[in-house]
Amino acid sequence: MDFSFGFTFFGVFLWIVFTVITLLVWYLLIKAAVGNSKITTEVYALRNDLNELERRQTERFAVLDTHMQEQNKLLREQNELLRRGGS
């Protein structure tokens, strides 16, 4: 019996089959490891925290914008009063 597969069709076919089986086993192992890890829940928790922080920051910017608009309005009024009084 000759067990040297060489580059025959059967040898290449066996190599492809063993490669596919090996890659499938690695895929299943990695998928199981990631699925059972706490990383997924940690990422979701961090995402929720980030969304909350972004919401708070947006509210703060809205308040700051309102404050700045009020300040600008007061400055315009003061400018107008100074122009009238100075003439």
For 22-75, write each residue's pLDDT tens digit. Answer: 999 999 999 888 777 788 788 899 999 999 999 999 999 999 999 999 999 999
73 residue type, one letter:
K
CA distances from 12 to 16, 17, 21, 26 (A): 6, 9, 14, 21
What pLDDT is recorded for position 7? 64
What's the pTM value of the predicted model, to 2 decimals?
Answer: 0.49
Q: Tell me the C-alpha distance between 28 and 35, whole Å.
A: 10
pLDDT for position 4:
57
Give the domain ranges of the chain: 13-86
Instruction: Give the total residue count for the chain.
Output: 87
